[in-house]
């Protein structure tokens, strides 16, 4: 993963700005039907990073609760001014943030480390060689680099 040391991003109107203080632990490209509906697109790209490594520079992210099949909470945080979704919190895990890679100033800075829920992937998308892909979810223990697993353990135990 070639990465900038600091990655900045923000919403469409510019009121909300943030900085990722380090590289994420891992990057998901999620092809599930919820992500398709919530983005109005083919998939969501999420950078998984510790919440305390995401510095809010300006603006007010406000959560909106999404319905989920599992019943576990999923809050999407949006700019209060323009409504752009900038990150998600899943399962009420406050220490882990899913930052939407498309909101980074440099959207080429991060690329998916894994493709998930490819069972609902749109048929015209061809997955790249060499990137793991799973029909549904997966075990991070099997796929993540050791350093990222250490970071995950430090926040989630």
Residues that bind Zn ion (CB under 5 A): 11, 13, 15, 30, 32, 35, 79, 81-82
Q: Which is nearer to Zn ion, 49 or 85 (CB)?
A: 85
CB-based contact 140:116 (threshold 8 Å): no
Q: How far is the CB of 137 from Zn ion (least distance, A)?
A: 9
Q: How far is the CB of 14 from Zn ion (least distance, A)?
A: 6
Q: Cite the DSSP H helix spans in 1-156.
A: 33-39, 140-143, 146-156
Q: Which is nearer to Zn ion, 81 or 133 (CB)?
A: 81
Q: How far is the CB of 4 from Zn ion (least distance, A)?
A: 23
Place of tokens 């600091």: 6
Q: Which is nearer to Zn ion, 88 or 148 (CB)?
A: 88
CB-based contact 59:17 (threshold 8 Å): yes
Torsion angle in degrees (nearest 10) through CA of 94, 120, 64, 102 = 80
């Amino acid at each position: 993963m070639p990465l900038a040391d600091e990655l900045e991003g923000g919403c469409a109107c510019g009121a909300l700005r943030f900085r990722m203080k380090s590289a994420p632990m891992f990057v998901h490209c999620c092809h599930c039907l919820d992500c398709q509906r919530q983005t109005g697109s083919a998939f969501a790209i999420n950078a998984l990073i510790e919440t305390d490594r995401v510095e809010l520079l300006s603006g007010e992210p406000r959560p909106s609760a999404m319905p989920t099949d599992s019943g576990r909470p999923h809050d999407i945080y949006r700019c209060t001014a323009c409504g752009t979704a900038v990150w998600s919190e899943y399962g009420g895990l406050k220490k882990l943030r899913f930052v939407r890679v498309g909101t980074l100033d440099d959207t080429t800075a991060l690329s998916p480390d894994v493709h998930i829920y490819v069972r609902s992937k749109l048929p015209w998308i061809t997955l790249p060689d060499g990137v793991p892909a799973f029909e549904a979810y997966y075990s991070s223990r099997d796929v993540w680099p050791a350093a990222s697993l250490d970071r995950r353990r430090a926040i989630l135990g």
